[in-house]
Each structure stands twice: as structure tokens, then as C-alpha cells.
Amino acid sequence: MSKTYRGYTVAQIAAAIDHSVLKPNSLSSEVVAACELAAQVNTASVCIRPIDVPLAVASLAETSVPVCTVIGFPHGTSTTGTKVFETIEAISAGCDEVDMVINVSALIEGDFDTVLSDIKAVVDAAHELKPESIVKVIFETALLNREQIIKACELSELAGADFVKTSTGFAAEGATVENIRLMKHCVGDRLKVKASGGVRTLDQVIDLLEAGADRCGCSGTESILESF
């Protein structure tokens, strides 16, 4: 019988993690090492910067681990056309998943048409190139109130996204159990939920999974799994 902690095996935890290398000063060697770890433990994906997509695709070519990158990252202030271009470039280079940052200021201002069209343009671009690709929508929940998070969930669903996601990991606060519960309540089983930002321990991962997250974005994957 596999060893478990709080009802989870190490394989189940690994399969819920998007192993992330997103710091601006990350080196190519770190990307390669991240891909090697992801392949070894079979994470849900490796999430890397757009410049690292070709390297990650090559490193994971003989594995089943998907490649994920970020769009409009980390502020969401790129134009929609820029986000679409980034998406097309990433998917064309072999990416399987994209995590896009919404137009946060438009959401806060109540310009919901702009937010919706921004998300939908990325979703349409990704799904047209690769129908099975996954689009996750990053809210940056640290900047939003409860009503704005609810609205962001509604707009992401209307736009045809696959996931809603809490954070970039570059804001003052990342994922919280409270926000994961709220997002899960909003999207039900229609969309999936990703917790990201400040997720550093095994207990945090399990707390977030139990609150309704399907995945967690983590840079410290190795230390989390070593906790077993």
C-alpha cells in the first residue's frame, strides 16, 4: 500500500502540481532541471516563461508532462492583441496550456465587456490552434474584493476558459482557502480551479485541494514532495 498523508499519496500530490519556474532571473539550467523533476514525479505540467517554451518542449518531448506558459504576465496590462500573439506563438511552439492574466484594472472599473473580450480572444486563439489546449485565467485575487472575484469567474466561464486561477505569485498575497472555496462555488464542476501564489508546503497544497482546487502552482515542488 502506498504511503499516504491526510488521505493523499505522493503521486496524487505531484499530479495536482503545476511545477513553476517563472522568476525573471531564472536560468536555462533551472528550466531543464524543472523538466527533469516534473518527468520524474509526473506533475500536472511544467509552467515556464514564454522565452523558455522551446527548451521545455524539447526537454519533455519523450514524456507525458504538458508544457504550460504564461500570457500577459504578470500584470495583465498587455493589449489583447499582444496576448493573442503570445498565445499563438506559445501554442505553435508546442505549448499545451496557457495561464493568462486578465485586464485587472478594467475589471475593477466595471468594464466587463473589455475583460470578457480579452479573455475570449485568448481562449479562441488557443482552442483554434489546439482544441485540446487548456486556458487558465489568472485573477490576481489580492487586488480584488469578493464581488469582483465572483464576476471574474462569471466572465471566464462566458469566455470559454477551462480554469480560473487565483494569482501570479507576484502580488502581496497569493492563494487562500477562502478564495478557492468562493471560486469553486462560482464555477462548480463546469470549470476547474487553480491555486497559485505562496503555496510552499504539503499541508497548504492539501488544504487548497480540499477547498476545491484541482491544481496548485508551486515552485518548491521538490521540497513539498520530500515532505512525504
What residues are annotated to the active site? 99, 165, 194
Please provide the distance, in angstroms rounded to a whole number, between the alpha carbons at the two ends of the chain. Answer: 14
Contacts of 67 (CB under 8 A, 6+ apart): 45, 46, 48, 53, 56, 57, 60, 94, 95, 96, 97
Phi then psi for residue 104, to 5 deg, are -65, -45
Yes or no: say if 216 and 175 are a contact pair by the CB < 8 Å rule: yes
Q: Look up residue 69 and give its DSSP letter.
A: E
Phi then psi for residue 97, to 5 deg, are -140, 145
Contacts of 183 (CB under 8 A, 6+ apart): 149, 153, 164, 166, 193, 212
